[in-house]
Amino acid sequence: MRDNKFFFYLTRPLLLGEVPHPLLNTLMAIMCRMTKNDKEKLGNTAVYIASHTKNLSKTKLLKLLYFMEEYSVRRFHTPFLGLPYEVWQAGPVVKDVFIDLSENLVILDGYVTKDVVGDATYILPAKSFSDEEFSDNDLLVMDEVIRKYGDKTAKELVSITHRKGSLWHKVAERNNLLLPFENKLMNNSDCVIDFAEELTETGKVFYQDQMEFLQMSRAYAKKSSSVKRAFRRIL
């Protein structure tokens, strides 16, 4: 179990805009629970977004990833990346991806690069897009989200996620986060969005089955990787 005080101590610089802690790269590697396939799909999604979106900031990328997840679940009852989106002041955020984009790239290293221009940081593709991890529905999801939201600013995307009735707003309201966020008393939380919340009962069952299969696949991949590493040490 993660020590929350230790976690906050190391991530506080990022969350408050201070100088990053020197152990942050190590923390990122420990925090990440993604398999190789997860990283490849996330990385290539970032490549695709960066290749089709102008002026792609960190916040804009994080919001477009969220909209892809939401659209995939609503239309196909299927997770897009299946990563946890926490309710933060600036909208839904995958914490591991936020930290990766805020310091030296680890998860997305080799997929995108960061270009700092003045006070702004832009995300650029570092390689060509590979569709090996993507279904036809996945490709449709990316195209639809970029078509609908790609020209909007990061601020506009955050405002859309904050609309009353949105999943972000419902979770924030239930957990009494709206006022602290509005008054800038806090900028993040560990409350996670449940995308099944707005589905029909049939849709929920299908989505939950898909998530269970995804988690089982991840557990198998991690176990298989551990066995391979053990054999390499023996040999």
Other beta carbons within 10 angstroms of residue 111's beta carbon come to 23
- pLDDT by residue for the chain (235 residues), tens only, comes to 434 444 444 444 444 444 444 434 433 343 446 889 999 999 999 999 999 999 999 999 999 999 999 999 999 999 999 999 999 999 999 999 999 999 899 999 999 999 988 888 899 999 999 999 999 999 999 999 999 999 999 999 999 999 999 999 999 999 999 999 999 999 999 999 999 998 999 999 999 999 999 888 888 877 765 545 555 555 5
Q: Are 111 and 43 in contact (CB under 8 A)?
A: yes
Per-residue pLDDT at 82: 95
SS (H, E, C) the chain: CCCHHHHHHHHHHHHHCCCCCCCHHHHHHHHCCCCHHHHHHHHHHHHHHHHHCCCCEHHHHHHHHHHHHHHHHHHHCCCCCCCCCEEECCEEECHHHHHHHHCCCCCCECCEEEEEECCEEEEEECCCCCCCCCCHHHHHHHHHHHHHHCCCCHHHHHHHHCCCCCHHHHHHHHCCCHHHHHCCCCCCCCCECCHHHHCCHHHHHHHHHHHHHHHHHHHHHHHHHHHHHHHHHHC
Domain spans of the chain, in order of start: 1-31, 33-234
